[in-house]
């Protein structure tokens, strides 16, 4: 994949403004796309769209295929007649700059149930049946999984009734009948998510903006994927991960990062030419234009930690599926528009794998700020960021790292000048794509950080921006910078 010179913004849809406590796929999503278009941006990068599970993390999702129902636009449901004015007349007072996931989930699920009751009573058109048919591989068992999860009080699937956890045929048939309405409810949520997202994608594409999605290499052990396909994962006889994923001690943690995701049984996956992976990429390519593959180095070699360890220190490197894996994907799906997240401990073998398929890599200014622009841009077919969702904001990083040891009062710096100087450094580089988190464009301090690696829960994944933050001045400044460094083409 050869990149043309362009720039864009990193923002997850949950961070969009909304009166319903979380970003949605409606009016404010279109307003953000308008902002991108008017400021000459041609890329919108997002985090995984999957339904977040443990810790509200989109990287610990209940499914590698399903969409996050909390992003469904309430106002769009009302416009369709599935909700009434009375239904949405008494909206709780949600904070504008973060997400209270517990309150949002409780409120929106109540509205979704009302919308579903009306939808369920209607005859289903070809659009609905087409969606169900096209997503047959994953949809039914995901919906079944979510219905069962509610029935069993949100416990992990391996702690359910044994016969259900093991998917014994006669017991599954019983629960399929018992929970039929709940299963249809999750069909409904996925149908509405898909329809709303595809409209947002079309709106962006029609304005010359491509969407960069995010594909986590691993999945959560408490997911429909591991419940339905346990033989594809390194699980013990009780369904817990026998070998878990993570990374050794690094920039973010002295004890490494222990993610807890189960590793894949790559040899078993290879038996059907990686069908699960092919279906996963196929679904992603329907929803986004480019795919950032998170932790790309894990396909060459991954850090394997015994499931009973408390840190990632006592792990080992194990060879991944490598070139044959991507060759088979390309055989079935064609050339893949992949961006390789090649950060961290990168070996020559990882670089060789990336370059063999011409996948662009990534550079992060916060990691390379002491290098010259020419040095960190030597590989032009690269996406250059000031930071990612795992980094501090530019301003927070500048105060904690750059000013460390210097006799400079952080309160005397000009935040906008600091942030925009670094943004310009990224923009003027030779790297083909420049992508900037919205927090950095808004010159926000560390409180606006999206995630703190190695930690779980609040304030991770909670940040939102106020709609008045996207001022005409910021739009004009971003457009001027983009044109100045020749990152815009009609």
Hey, which residues are catalytic here? 294, 341, 390
Token readout for 209 is: 């903006």
Number of neighbouring beta carbons within 10 Å of residue 375: 9
Q: Give me 238's structure tokens.
A: 């009780």
β-bridge partners, 382: 361
- Give 114's contacts (C-beta < 8 A, 6+ positions apart): 82, 83, 87
Give the angle 141-52-239 at the CA atoms, nearest 5°.
55
β-sheet with 210-215: strand ranges across: 338-340, 290-293, 210-215, 43-45, 6-10, 433-437, 382-385, 361-364
Edge to edge, the sheet with strand 301-306 lists 257-262, 243-247, 301-306, 316-319
Dist. CA 478–CA 476, nearest whole Å: 5
The span from the CA of 290 to the CA of 351, in Å, is: 20
Q: What is the rounded distance in angstroms from the CA atom of residue 89 to the CA atom of residue 67? A: 27
| Pairing verdict, β 257-262 and 243-247 | antiparallel
The Cα 384–Cα 362 span in angstroms is 6
The answer to whether 224 and 63 have CB atoms below 8 angstroms apart is: yes
Contacts of 385 (CB under 8 A, 6+ apart): 10, 362, 363, 364, 365, 426, 434, 435, 436, 437
Distances (CA, A) of 475 to 8, 13, 34, 97, 273: 12, 19, 10, 20, 47
Tell me which residue of 446, 315, 456, 462 sits closest to 392, measured CA to CA: 446
């Amino acid at each position: 994949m050869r990149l043309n010179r362009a720039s864009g913004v990193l923002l997850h849809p949950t961070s969009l403004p909304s009166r319903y406590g979380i970003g949605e796929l409606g009016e404010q999503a279109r307003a953000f796309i308008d902002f991108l278009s008017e400021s000459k941006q041609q890329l919108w990068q997002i985090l995984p769209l999957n339904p977040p599970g443990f810790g509200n993390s989109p990287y610990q999702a209940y499914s590698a295929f399903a969409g996050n129902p909390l992003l469904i636009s309430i106002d769009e449901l009302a416009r369709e007649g599935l909700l009434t004015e009375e239904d949405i007349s008494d909206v709780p007072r949600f904070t504008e700059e973060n997400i209270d996931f517990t309150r949002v989930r409780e409120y929106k699920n109540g509205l979704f149930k009302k919308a579903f009751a009306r939808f369920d009573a209607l005859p289903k058109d070809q659009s609905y049946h087409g969606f169900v048919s096209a997503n047959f591989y994953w949809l039914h068992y995901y919906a079944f999984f979510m219905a069962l999860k509610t029935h069993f009080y949100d416990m992990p699937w391996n702690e359910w009734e044994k016969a259900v956890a093991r998917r014994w045929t006669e017991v599954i048939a019983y629960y399929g009948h018992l929970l039929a309405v709940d299963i249809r409810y999750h069909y409904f949520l996925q149908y509405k998510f898909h329809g709303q997202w595809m409209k947002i994608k079309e709106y962006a594409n029609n304005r010359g903006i491509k969407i960069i999605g995010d594909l986590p290499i691993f999945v959560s052990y408490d997911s429909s994927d591991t419940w339905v396909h346990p033989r594809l994962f390194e699980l013990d006889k009780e369904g817990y991960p026998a070998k878990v994923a993570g990374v050794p001690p690094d920039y973010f943690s002295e004890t490494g990062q222990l993610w807890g995701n189960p590793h894949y049984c790559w040899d078993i996956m290879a038996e059907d030419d990686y069908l699960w992976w092919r279906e996963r990429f196929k679904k992603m390519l329907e929803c986004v234009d480019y795919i950032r593959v998170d932790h790309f180095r894990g396909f060459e070699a991954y850090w394997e930690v015994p499931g009973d360890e408390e840190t990632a220190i006592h792990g080992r490197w194990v060879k991944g599926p490598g070139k044959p894996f991507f060759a088979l994907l390309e055989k079935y799906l064609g050339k893949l528009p992949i961006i390789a997240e090649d950060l961290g401990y990168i070996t020559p073998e990882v670089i060789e794998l990336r370059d063999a398929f011409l996948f662009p890599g990534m550079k992060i200014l916060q990691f390379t700020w002491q290098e010259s622009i020419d040095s960190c841009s030597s590989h032009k077919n690269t996406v250059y960021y000031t930071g990612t969702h795992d980094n501090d904001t530019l301003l927070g990083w500048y105060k904690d790292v750059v000013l460390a040891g210097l006799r400079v009062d952080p309160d005397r710096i000009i935040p906008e000048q600091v942030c925009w100087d670094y943004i310009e450094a990224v923009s003027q580089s030779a790297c083909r794509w420049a992508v900037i988190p919205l927090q950095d464009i808004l010159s926000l301090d560390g409180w606006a950080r999206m995630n703190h690696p190695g930690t779980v829960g609040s304030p991770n994944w909670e940040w939102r921006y106020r709609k008045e933050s996207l001022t005409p001045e910021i739009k004009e400044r971003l457009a001027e910078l983009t044109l100045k460094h020749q990152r815009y083409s009609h």
